[in-house]
Amino acid sequence: MEYTFLNEQKHYDNLLEIFMGEVKNCEYPDDYDWFAEEYAEHLTECHIEQMDKYVHKSDTKIYGNFCDIREDWNYPGFVHSTVEPWGNFDDVVKSIDDKTISEEDLAKFQQWCEDWFYTAFGTYNLKYNFGTDLDEVIYSDERERERERELAEAVA
């Protein structure tokens, strides 16, 4: 088991589900599943890295957002999760860093962090940024197809 603060496969699956929903709403849904997969993979890696840095900060307040992972764990009630926090946040983080946490507790903590992530940030910006990037890819592909048609017509 990987000692990360988000479960890589679960986070990827959640992101992919969000992005595939957006792809299905675009003009050419069958052509852009690959983009959703690559985008979800990239963001999963980024989120895991950012979460690792975030949980190790001495001040986990997020200015402009009322979330604070340490406070939300130590004083539960904000995050809607099937996992009930146990122990002190910093002690749990240390046990993950030291790899002394049980696989069961690690899985629970990762699930709580996944729930916290979506409670804290929602999906609006994820969808917006993905949609914007998808539009750029579609536009670029359309321009390329147009150039190919023009070239084919010029040769014919």
CA 79 to chain centre: 17
User: Locate tokens 């764990």: which residue?
Assistant: 73
**Rg (the chain; Cα; Å):** 20
87 in a domain, yes or no?
yes
Measured distance CA(127)–CA(109) in Å, rounded: 26
User: Locate tokens 């994820």: which residue?
Assistant: 126
The reported pLDDT for the residue numbered 77 is 85
Locate 126 and state its tokens: 């994820």
Residue-wise pLDDT for 86-106, tens only, equals 999 999 999 999 999 999 999
Question: Is the pLDDT score of 29 beyond 80?
Answer: no
Domain with 36 in it: 8-155
Question: How many domains are there within the chain?
Answer: 1
Q: Which of 3-12, 35-44, 59-68, 104-113 has the lowest mean pLDDT?
A: 59-68
Confidence of residue 27 (pLDDT cuts 50, 70, 90): confident
3 in a domain, yes or no?
no
Work out the burial of residue 4: count CB atoms within 10 Å of its CB; fewer than 13 is exposed, 13-18 middle, 19 or more buried. middle
32 in a domain, yes or no?
yes
Nearest by Cα to 20 from 98, 97, 131: 131
Residue-wise pLDDT for 113-155, tens only, equals 999 999 999 999 999 999 999 999 999 988 998 998 888 888 8
3 state DSSP class of 74? helix
